[in-house]
């Protein structure tokens, strides 16, 4: 036994087949008519092109005759216009008949005739200019130009006749297509309506009989479905309320996660700044250590210089002792020389003066060496003090270098600790960011769940309304087919 859908589908298939057959026939005939109209327009264009070609030749011939009669160049304007248009008319005609081999052969025969005609016109005009009208009229009197023009008209006439024959055949075909289309529409549509009416009546009787049997089953089902949808709607509303509360809680957690993520980023930024400061401190301490090492090297050089200065002062002191001994010996020799000069009497006076001068110089040398010795003594005392100070400074610098190295090691360890803390803070910030993304996703999911719950509530309400409508529709259907009883929603 066929179902209701199968019966209705069969009716649609029959209707569709008939419409398709009518549509195909109409389309083919209409397309043929459209193509015939297009071809007819093309035929008219060919006839128009032939007329234009003859008109251009006649204009050229008219200009030539006017010039031969009057002899003024102003009468050559139609000739020039005709000559300029002949080539374009020929090209247009060749393009239009390119799909017709018979017409192409006639056009091939027409070309040399037109060329001869244009040559005859040009020849007579040139003779008129160079030798006068008599020489030009001799060419005209030979009837060469008339004969060529008659041949051209003959070929053009045959080409126009061919196009008119094609036009008549195409018009006859279009008329036949139009009659066929009218017949299809006139007889096909009423036939389709009749067939569909018979089939629709049979389907209606069959469907009504089956509906009468099925409506009783729908009655109980719609009542139960109405009660069930009412309960589902109530449960969906409660679920939507719970989801709304959960969504609000997730939103609060999301805000807390945002605050934690912001604080983690602040900690990470502070740790990175501290690591940068520690790095600068480490570099400064390294520079201070290098400076202390340079100072230590300079102090050692100063100490060595002071020691060499002390040694040189000692050597000078020994030299001064020698000079002092020489001064005393010179003084003693000068005294002895003076004594001996006095003993010599008058001859020794000059030597006495020299001895006195030597004694005086020796005294000055002794005094100078005494002063230099005093100065050297002060220098040696200062040098000793400088040596002690340099040694003490070297020890102090060495201690400073040691302390600087210890400070640099402490700062290096501090920098490593801060760098590790900065890395850990960065990882914490990244983790917080990932948690933040996760919370966004959770919040989005909860929002989607909330929307889905709202849609479920709306859907269940609509289902409830649909169940009520179905129940009412069942009652109306029962009334329409004559059912005496119909169960209520509470039965």
Per-residue pLDDT of the chain (491 residues; tens, 9 = 90+): 556 567 667 766 777 787 787 778 766 756 655 655 567 788 889 999 999 999 999 999 899 888 888 888 888 899 889 888 998 999 999 999 988 889 899 999 999 999 999 998 898 899 888 888 888 888 888 888 888 889 999 999 999 999 999 888 877 877 777 777 777 768 777 777 777 688 677 766 666 666 666 666 666 666 665 676 677 667 667 766 766 776 777 677 678 767 767 776 785 787 678 678 667 767 876 886 787 778 678 877 867 876 787 778 778 777 777 877 877 887 788 778 778 778 777 777 776 787 788 878 878 877 888 887 788 788 778 777 876 876 787 788 678 778 878 877 876 786 787 678 678 667 766 776 776 777 678 678 778 867 876 777 677 778 677 767 777 777 777 666 665 555 555 54
Q: Where are the domains of the chain?
A: 4-142
In the three-class reduction of DSSP (H, G, I as helix; E, B as strand; rest coil), residue 200 is classed as helix
CA-to-CA distance for 342 and 336, rounded, in angstroms?
10
CA-to-CA distance for 490 and 188, rounded, in angstroms?
55
Handedness of CA 257, 261, 263, 267 (dihedral sign): positive
CA-to-CA distance for 270 and 264, rounded, in angstroms?
10
Considering all CA atoms of the chain, what is the largest pairwise distance in Å, rounded to the nearest integer?
194
Opening angle at CA 371, ends 369 and 374, nearest 5: 110
Return all residues near 29 (Cβ < 8 A) that are at least 6 apart: 177, 178, 180, 181, 184
55-62 contacts, C-beta under 8 A, 24 or more apart: 56/81, 56/82, 56/85, 56/86, 56/89, 57/82, 57/86, 57/114, 57/117, 57/149, 57/152, 58/82, 59/85, 60/86, 60/118, 60/121, 61/117, 61/121, 61/145, 61/149
pTM here? 0.34
Closest CA to 104 of 113, 114, 115, 93: 93
Both tokens of 180, joined, read 């066929």
Q: Give the side-chain half-sphere CA count within 13 A for 354.
A: 9
């Amino acid at each position: 036994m066929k179902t209701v859908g199968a019966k209705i589908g069969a009716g649609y298939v029959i209707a569709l087949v008939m419409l398709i057959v009518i549509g195909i026939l109409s389309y083919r005939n209409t397309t043929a008519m459209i193509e015939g109209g297009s071809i007819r327009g093309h035929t008219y264009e060919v006839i128009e092109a032939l007329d234009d070609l003859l008109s251009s030749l006649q204009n050229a011939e008219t200009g030539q005759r006017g010039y031969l009669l009057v002899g003024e160049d102003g009468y050559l304007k139609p000739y020039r216009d005709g000559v300029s248009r002949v080539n374009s008319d020929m090209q247009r005609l060749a393009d239009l008949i390119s799909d017709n081999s018979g017409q192409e052969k006639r056009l091939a025969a027409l070309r040399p005739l037109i060329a001869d005609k244009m040559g005859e016109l040009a020849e007579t005009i040139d003779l008129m200019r160079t030798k006068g009208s008599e020489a030009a009229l001799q060419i005209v009197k030979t009837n060469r130009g008339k004969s060529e023009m008659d041949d051209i008209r003959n070929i053009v006439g045959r080409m126009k006749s061919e196009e008119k024959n094609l036009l008549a055949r195409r018009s006859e075909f279009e008329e036949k297509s139009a009659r066929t289309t009218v017949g299809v529409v006139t007889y096909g549509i009423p036939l389709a309506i009749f067939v569909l009416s018979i089939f629709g009546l049979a389907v209606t009787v069959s469907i009504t009989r089956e509906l009468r049997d099925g409506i009783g089953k729908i009655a109980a089902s719609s009542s139960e479905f109405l009660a069930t949808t009412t309960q589902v709607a109530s449960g969906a509303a409660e679920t939507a309320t719970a989801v709304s509360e959960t969504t609000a809680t997730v939103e609060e957690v999301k805000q807390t996660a945002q605050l934690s993520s912001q604080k983690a980023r602040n900690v990470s930024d502070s740790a990175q700044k501290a690591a940068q400061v520690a790095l600068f401190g480490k570099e400064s301490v390294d520079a201070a250590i290098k400076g202390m090492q340079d100072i230590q090297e300079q102090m050692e050089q100063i100490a060595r210089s002071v020691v060499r200065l002390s040694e040189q002062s000692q050597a000078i002191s020994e030299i001064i002792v020698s000079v002092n001994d020489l001064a005393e010996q010179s003084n003693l020799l000068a005294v002895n020389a003076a004594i001996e000069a006095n003993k010599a009497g008058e001859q020794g006076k000059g030597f006495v003066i020299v001895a006195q001068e030597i004694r005086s110089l020796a005294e000055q040398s002794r005094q100078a060496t005494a002063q230099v010795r005093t100065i050297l003594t002060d220098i040696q005392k200062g040098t000793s003090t400088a040596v002690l100070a340099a040694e003490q400074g070297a020890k102090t610098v060495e201690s400073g270098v040691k302390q600087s190295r210890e400070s640099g090691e402490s700062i290096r360890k501090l920098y490593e600790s801060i760098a590790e803390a900065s890395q850990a803070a960065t990882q914490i910030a990244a983790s917080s960011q990932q948690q933040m993304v996760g919370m966004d996703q959770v919040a989005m999911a909860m929002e989607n769940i909330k929307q889905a719950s709202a849609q479920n509530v709306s859907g269940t309400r609509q289902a409830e309304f649909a169940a009520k409508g179905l129940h009412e529709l069942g009652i109306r259907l029962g009334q329409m087919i004559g059912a005496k009883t119909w169960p209520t929603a509470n039965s």
